[in-house]
Amino acid sequence: MRCARTIVLAALLALLGCDLRMLDLKPGVSTAADVKRAMGEPTFEWRAPDGALTWEFPRGPTGVVTYMVTIRPDGVLQEIRQVLAQAYFAQIRAGMTKDEIRRLIGRPGETMTFPLKQEEVWTWRYEPATGERWHFHVHFDLAGKVLATSSDQVDTPP
């Protein structure tokens, strides 16, 4: 029993290790190389017209955290944002594209197509409060435009 707990604890610490190293990152001081050392390779990158970069760092295949990191054109960290949050979900409007949604809140944990409804739904897990797990859904028409959003609470064990 003790061995199993030790293995679980070691795995948890290894998983959190990357995010704990983020605490050393300082906007205006840390470099792009520092960010990659602390967070790993981004899963996606967007380049702004001025040369600034935004990197996407989802945590886990269906994790409850996704970081968007902005690197200034001079290669220095500008900001780190955790985007699986109500403030970002509230910015989603009907008619937005899949690319706009990906750039705002990152890649979804799951996608499903419903042919009879002529709809595709992207889903993210998030935690609005400690211990609460929710799903946030963005509903697209088959042309890739947002129709609506919805959310539901995930059952959590006692």
Distance CA 70, CA 102 (A): 15
Tell me how far apart the alpha carbons of residues 137 and 47 are, in angstroms, rounded to a whole number.
Answer: 26
- What pLDDT does 7 receive? 42
Measured CA distances, 24 to 18, 49, 64, 100 (Å): 11, 29, 22, 30
Mean predicted confidence (pLDDT) in 105-109: 95
Query: Could you tell me which residue, 2 or 55, shows the higher pLDDT?
Result: 55
Q: How far is CA 149 from the centre of its chain?
A: 17
Is the model's pLDDT at 69 over the cut of 50?
yes
Amino acid (1-letter code) at residue 146: V
Query: Across 34-145, where does the E strand assignment appear?
Result: 44-47, 53-59, 65-71, 77-82, 110-114, 119-126, 134-141
Nearest CA-CA partner of 58 in 124, 140, 5, 147 = 124
- Give the lowest-confidence range in 26-35, 61-70, 95-104: 61-70
**Residue 157 pLDDT > 60:** no
pLDDT of residue 85: 95
* Cβ–Cβ under 8 Å, residues 52 and 78: yes
Is a pLDDT exceeding 80 seen at residue 11? no
Give phi and psi for 151, each to the nearest 5: -150, 160
Q: Distance between CA 40 and CA 63 in Å, rounded?
A: 16
Question: pTM to 2 decimals?
Answer: 0.82
pLDDT of residue 83 exceeding 90, the answer is yes
Mean pLDDT of 35-53: 96
Q: For residue 93, what pLDDT band results from cuts at 50, 70 and 90?
A: very high
119 in helix, strand or coil? strand
Q: What is the distance, to the nearest Å, from the Cα of residue 7 to the centroid of all Cα atoms in its chain?
A: 27
> What are the structural domains, with CATH classification, of the chain?
2-82 (3.30.1450), 86-153 (3.30.1450.10)
Mean pLDDT score, 48-57: 97
Which one has a higher pLDDT value, 88 or 9? 88
- Percentage of the chain exceeding pLDDT 90: 75
Is residue 3 pLDDT above 70, yes or no?
no
For tokens 């890649």, name the residue.
Answer: 107
